[in-house]
Amino acid sequence: MRVAIIISLSILFIVIIMVLAWCLTLLATISLSTSIDVLVPISTQKPDTSLYTNIVHPRQPQRLNLASKRPLHTNKFYTNPILGSGENPIIAQPYVLLVNPSSPFGVSISCTEQLALGPQIDSTRVKYFINVILKNMQVSATEFTARNFEVINVDDPGFSFTLKMFQQGSQASITMPIVRGMAYVTFEYNSATPKISTVHAILSVNGQSSGKITGKRFEVSLNNGQTWIIYALNGDITLELRDNQLFGTQAITNVLRLTKKQGDSYANSLLDSHAAVYPTGCQLKADVTDSKGTYTFLWERKGDITKTLLHYTFAHHRQVMTSGSATGTSVLTKSASKGPMVGYVGNVWIMEENSLSTMGFLAPRAPAAQYEDRIVAQLIKDINAGVSLAVTDYYFTGKAFHKYALLCLLADYYRETSLRTECIRKLQEGFDVLLQGKNSNALKYDTTWYGLVSAAGLPANQELADFGNSYYNDHHYHWGYFIQTAAILAHLDSSYTSKLKDWVDTLIRDSNNPSTQDTHFPQFRYFDWFSGHSWSQGLFESADGKDQESTSEEVNYHYGVALWGLATGSKTTEGLGRLMLAVAKRAIQTYFLMDSANKVMPKEYIGNKVTGIFFENKADYATWFGPNPEFIHGIQMLPSTPITEEVRLPKFVQEEWDTIISKVVPSVTGGWKSILYANYAILNRGEAFSQLLTVPLDDGLTRAWALYWAATRPNTNDGTGTLTTTNPSSVTTTGAPSTGGECTLPAGATCTSLTSPGDAAAGLGMYYDASCSQGGVGCNHIQPNCRLCAKDPAVVNNPFLKCPSCV
């Protein structure tokens, strides 16, 4: 009996131990899968004034009247109203709004759903498409006798702003919450008398061709085939139709909402059902759990908040919207540049990216063995040859740092210890200059827009120096190279991380501060969570809204942020980088890199394969620096890093190569050829490797890394191919063609005199070139027809022409 009891107790003890072990395993699994909030502050400290001198920006916001001073977005859709004259459009999507500079003094609404196409490049594609903007409806007040408006509120992530129109000396005002994706345009009237007009002819209102109409809902039929619905949310109003306009019979304090009538009766019933609640802004939530990332839009609402919001989605939202979140409807429209929009019903949108990248510092596979001896031999040559890490402008300097850091990675991978040590030492010497602000274009902290800017563009007439960095152009491109370089350095030598950390973290805070608790930078200056990607254009007015050109350099930024988090042990920073990367990758593959299966972009345009310069209101198969196909495609390829294979997929690359690149690559000279062949390695690593042994190199690429990149591509096509290329030793470099006046024009402010100190230090000069009207590398720098050129022989054709002798 006693033995039986002992045995039973032993079994019970074993069972308890097993249960405890299972529980501990379960707890460990749960802890490993804990959701990480990636919107926590990187820091809440003000940037160190001993390193970042405070400045007041030369471009001040106009017509801004916020309740309190706060960080301001520079690269979101609402900068047009607070820059210059304020007459450029607001691309709210799907609506395009304009604040009228003349009578009727109010806001015009455009929703044409029409694209104008550019000239045919060939039978399959056109050069550009542009959304047609017309003043379909104009909303004003009879009290308004002049244009008076101001921006009175903005939300944190850059989804919305609030515009107020008013009349001096009167109580009359109209307040507009303008929100990306809004299904209706909302006007909060305060003691103002409605005045509604159009550039078209009004055929009828609720079936009447003239006279007074009273109610809460008005259908306005126009002679262009459109019908617009006007809703009055707070009781009946009376409108009188006369002289092709609708006039209120008295001043009202009410909310009017306008939307374009749908062709489907059920869709129109949905418009009626959801008109009573309207969006005023959005707050963002984002978290990462293992390989899954979730981002959530929490829409802020007014009106009847017992109702559910109806709001328009882009294609990339719909691809990842969770089933328990918002629900799709039959309410449809077309965006200005991103294809069809679909109305979804829901106050909260939850979107999941279920396969976040796990890419590390090097390719996920070893180089093919037959190539390794040549890679190592070239690596030794490249590191011994060195590279100039003198800090000039931030773009080309960043590329120089980055390409050298990639050599350090290879030296570590191949266990070339002495080369690794020398490479790291040189990188650290380069960073020491930046970390102490010893460079001539040292970063300043701008107390106007709350950000870091290069000193190069702050003097008068220098706004485009450093590619407009001082005016918030391209920071994610520029900082991405430095962030990734710092991540590699921290990975290779953790003892240096403490020196780098504050400087790198401040670059990330400037470009994409994740937290509203960090009040020294706006939340996500560059990354637009609604659009799914970044906008590179900063404090410049634009008739077509913000734009982005180099999606590959945006990817390089997100990848760099993820690697910085990985190298420094910050799960939040790594998760943030990987989530932004996933969202951007989806948007880029939906809108920017267009394979034959693309159903979102205009069918007349997808033959270009890449969008070129992508604006909020159009896309143009071009670049800012020239029309050559190698520029247009190459700027969407560089730099080639391990993450590239997740964005540029073989199907797309094959189509792009077959239809365009293969036809131009034989005639390409200079460093662009190396970019095109590095990309070709995705399809044919053998041919690409062979070409990359000799082709001229891009200034951001070393030959050793190019060979490593090609050798690590997963395809097994190792044939030598049949394509030919120009021997780089046979290429002759010529100076700029003489056009007359190279160094004496334009009169009064010659191009040569406008060369910035940073450009001069980089071995560059500038001259007048009338042919810049046709585009070209370095063209229209600082001002029209001023062209950057290479004075230093080391940078000729990388990518600039040799300067004329007079420069």
**Catalytic one of 412, 446, 510, 553:** 553
- For the sheet with 173-179, list strands across it: 149-154, 160-166, 173-179, 185-192, 252-260, 227-232, 217-222, 202-205
Task: Return phi, psi of residue 6, to 5°.
Answer: -65, -40
Cα–Cα nearest to 182, from 299, 273, 315: 299
Rounded to whole angstroms, the Cα distance separating 547 from 61 reads 20
Cα–Cα nearest to 682, from 637, 648, 721: 648
Rounded to whole angstroms, the Cα distance separating 505 from 497 reads 11
What the block records as the tokens of 213 is 């109409």
Q: Provide the strand spans (E) within 378-465.
A: 443-446, 451-454
> Please, which residues have CB within 8 angstroms of residue 352's CB and are 6 or more apart in sequence?
292, 293, 294, 320, 322
Rounded to whole angstroms, the Cα distance separating 297 from 291 reads 20
* Residue at 100: amino acid letter: N
Q: What is the DSSP letter of 191?
A: E
Tell me the torsion sign for CA atoms 412, 416, 419, 422. positive
Cα–Cα nearest to 367, from 61, 644, 709: 709
Task: Return phi, psi of residue 26, to 5°.
Answer: -65, -45
Rounded to whole angstroms, the Cα distance separating 801 from 793 reads 10
Burial class (CB in 10 A: 0-12, 13-18, 19+), 694: middle
Residues pairing with 166 in the sheet: 173
Rounded to whole angstroms, the Cα distance separating 600 from 382 reads 44
Cα–Cα nearest to 189, from 107, 134, 271: 107
Cβ pair 612, 619 in contact under 8 A = yes
Helices and strands in the chain, H and E counts: 18, 37
Catalytic site residue 474?
A: yes
**Residues constituting the chain:** 807
In the block, residue with structure tokens 């890093």: 641
Q: Strand 237-242 vs strand 128-131: parallel, antiparallel, or unpaired?
A: unpaired
Catalytic site residue 412?
A: no
**Catalytic one of 155, 156, 188, 474:** 474
Q: Strand 613-615 vs strand 618-620: parallel, antiparallel, or unpaired?
A: antiparallel
* Residue at 360: amino acid letter: G
**Catalytic one of 155, 382, 549, 655:** 549
Three-state secondary structure readout of 241-299? EECCEEEECCCEEEEEEEEECCCCHHHHHHHHHHCCEEEEEEEEEEEEECCEEEEEEEE
Tell which phi-psi region holds residue 187, choosing left (phi > 0), alpha (psi between -120 and 50) or beta: beta
* Residue at 732: amino acid letter: T
Cβ pair 427, 401 in contact under 8 A = yes
What the block records as the tokens of 756 is 């910035």
Assign 672 to helix, strand or coil: helix
Q: Strand 227-232 vs strand 252-260: parallel, antiparallel, or unpaired?
A: antiparallel
Task: Return phi, psi of residue 264, to 5°.
Answer: -110, 130
The C-alpha torsion from 391 through 395 and 400 to 404, rounded to 10°, is: 110
DSSP string, 612-661: SEEESSEEESSBTTB--HHHHHHTTT-S--TTHHHHS-HHHHHHHIIIII
Residues pairing with 362 in the sheet: none
Catalytic site residue 143?
A: no
**Buried b vs exposed e over 420-451: b needs ≥16 C-beta within 10 Å?**
bebbbebbeebbeebeebebebbbbbbebbbb
Rounded to whole angstroms, the Cα distance separating 75 from 554 reads 14
Tell me, rounded to whole angstroms, the distance of Cα 506 from its chain centroid. 19
Please list the active-site residues: 474, 549, 553
